[in-house]
């Protein structure tokens, strides 16, 4: 067997393992649903799986995984709102509990689709070699970093709920791409992982507050409290965005990928 053929076979095997491992990582949480920790962990696992699909050029399978991720997200968001409202507003608490029942039913429909079609398709692709041609990882990462840099700058200059949410989405996409491909990336890129987690957490807290402000807009006292909270969290996020800008963290990582 030639060296090129051995390298190709090794790449095929690595791609298949990546896809199968990420698919099974999603599935392992199903038995504990709809517990909050399981909803959260399964949602995170779908993000990593979608990142793996991008690396392996299997975008055609992304739509169904995203549908499951969105259904998990709807349940998770309502679970957090209910937890926060429990001792604050009985009427909104009851309303969210009613919406949660509908969200759980929608999640069950997506889980049936996942079990019957999506998961078997993913495992089949891993077994038959469909995941054998990983894309140019450096090019993909540079593209994601460029988009993230643009969105972080927009959020830094004009920090609206919309711009901050867009920045948060890009941060998550880059973070999970780094996580699933870290063994093939330069250290200057993988070192971003801790900073990405920190920034994602801050932007996530801001997003949660913005969601609550909209939820309690007819409750003046609760709305004021959340707006005050938003001011405090905005300062933390602004400081982090300024640090990313001043230290040129994205430029350094992108340069290492050339």
> For residue 130, what pLDDT is reported?
62
Per-residue pLDDT of the chain (258 residues; tens, 9 = 90+): 465 555 455 556 788 899 999 999 999 999 999 999 999 999 999 999 999 999 998 989 999 999 999 999 999 999 999 999 999 999 999 999 999 999 999 999 999 999 999 999 999 988 886 665 566 899 999 999 999 999 999 999 999 999 999 999 999 999 999 999 998 999 999 999 999 999 999 999 999 999 999 999 999 999 999 999 999 999 999 999 999 999 999 999 999 998
CA distance 75 to 210: 18
Longest dimension (CA), the chain: 73
For the chain, domains (ranges, CATH) are 1-134 (no CATH), 136-258 (1.40.20.10)
> For residue 5, what pLDDT is reported?
56
> For residue 7, what pLDDT is reported?
43
DSSP output for 95-156:
HHHHHHHHHHHHHHHHHHHIIIIIHHHHHHHHHHTTT-----HHHHHHHHHHHHHHHHHHHH
Name 101's Cβ contacts closer than 8 Å, sequence gap at least 6.
none
> For residue 131, what pLDDT is reported?
60
> For residue 142, what pLDDT is reported?
96
């Amino acid at each position: 067997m030639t060296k090129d053929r051995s390298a190709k076979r090794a790449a095929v095997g690595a791609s298949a393992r990546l896809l199968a491992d990420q698919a099974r990582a999603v599935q392992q949480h199903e038995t504990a649903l709809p517990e909050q920790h399981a909803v959260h962990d399964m949602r995170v696992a779908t993000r990593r799986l979608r990142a793996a699909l991008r690396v392996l050029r299997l975008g055609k399978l992304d739509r169904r995984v995203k549908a499951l991720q969105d259904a998990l997200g709807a349940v998770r968001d309502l679970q957090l709102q209910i937890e926060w409202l429990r001792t604050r507003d009985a009427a909104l608490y009851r309303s969210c509990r009613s919406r949660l029942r509908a969200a759980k039913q929608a999640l069950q429909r997506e889980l049936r689709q996942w079990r019957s079609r999506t998961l078997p398709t993913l495992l089949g692709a891993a077994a038959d070699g469909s995941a054998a041609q990983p894309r140019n990882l450096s090019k993909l990462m540079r593209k994601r970093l460029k988009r993230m840099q643009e969105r972080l700058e927009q959020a830094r200059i004009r920090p609206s709920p919309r711009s901050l949410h867009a920045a948060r989405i890009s941060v998550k996409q880059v973070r999970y791409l780094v996580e699933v491909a870290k063994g093939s990336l330069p250290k200057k890129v993988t070192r971003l992982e801790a900073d990405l987690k920190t920034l994602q957490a801050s932007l996530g807290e801001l997003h949660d507050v913005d969601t609550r402000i909209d939820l309690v807009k007819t409750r003046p006292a609760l709305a004021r409290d959340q707006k005050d909270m938003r001011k405090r969290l905005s300062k933390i996020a602004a400081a982090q965005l300024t640090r990313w800008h001043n230290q040129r963290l994205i430029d350094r990582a992108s340069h290492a990928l050339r």
